[in-house]
Amino acid sequence: MTSAWVAGLPLIAGAVVLARVVTRRGRSGLYILAAIGAVLMIGAVVLLVAALSAGPAGAAVAVGAAKSAAAASGTSSSSAALLGAAIAVAGSTIGAGIAVAYAGAAALAAMSERSELFGRAMVIVGLAEGIAIYGLIIGILLIGKA
C-alpha cells in the first residue's frame, strides 16, 4: 500500500511544477501543458492496448485456466457494479459542487441586499445538495448488488 503512495509522489511533484510553469510562462506554458497532456494520452493508450492484448490468457497461465475463469466470471459483474457506483457518486458530487457554488453565490448576493431572503435561498442551496444525496443512494444500491 505504501509503495503506491511513493509511486504517486513524483506525479504530485510534477503537477506542482507544471502548475508553476503554466502560470509563469503564459502562452508558452499552455503549449507545454498541451504537450505533456498529449504524452500522457499516448502513454495511456499504449497501456490500454497492452492490457487489452494480454487479455485473460496472461492470467490463465499464472493462476490456472479453471481458477481464473471462475474468478473472472464472478468479479466482472461486481467490478462493473463498483465502477458504476464510483461514477455515480463522483458525477453527482461534482455536479452538486458546481450547483452549490453558483446557487450559494447568488444566495449570498441576494441575502446581502435583503436579509429576509435567507429561508428561500437556503432551500435552493439545499435542492442543489440533493443531487449528491441521490448519487450516494445510487452508489449504495450498486454496491449492494456487487
72's CB contacts (< 8 A; 6+ apart) are 56, 59
d(CA 71, CA 45): 26
d(CA 118, CA 122): 6
H/E stretch holding 101: helix 65-113
Which of 43, 23, 42 minimizes the C-alpha distance to 33? 23
d(CA 30, CA 28): 5
- Digit-coded pLDDT (tens) for 114-143: 989 888 888 989 998 898 999 999 999 988
Q: Reduce the secondary structure of 12-66 to three states and give it as a string.
A: HHHHHHHHHHHHHHCHHHHHHHHHHHHHHHHHHHHHHHHHHHHHHHHHHHHHCHH
- Digit-coded pLDDT (tens) for 35-53: 877 887 787 778 777 777 7
pLDDT at position 62: 44
- Digit-coded pLDDT (tens) for 54-105: 655 554 444 444 444 445 555 667 788 888 888 889 999 999 999 999 999 9
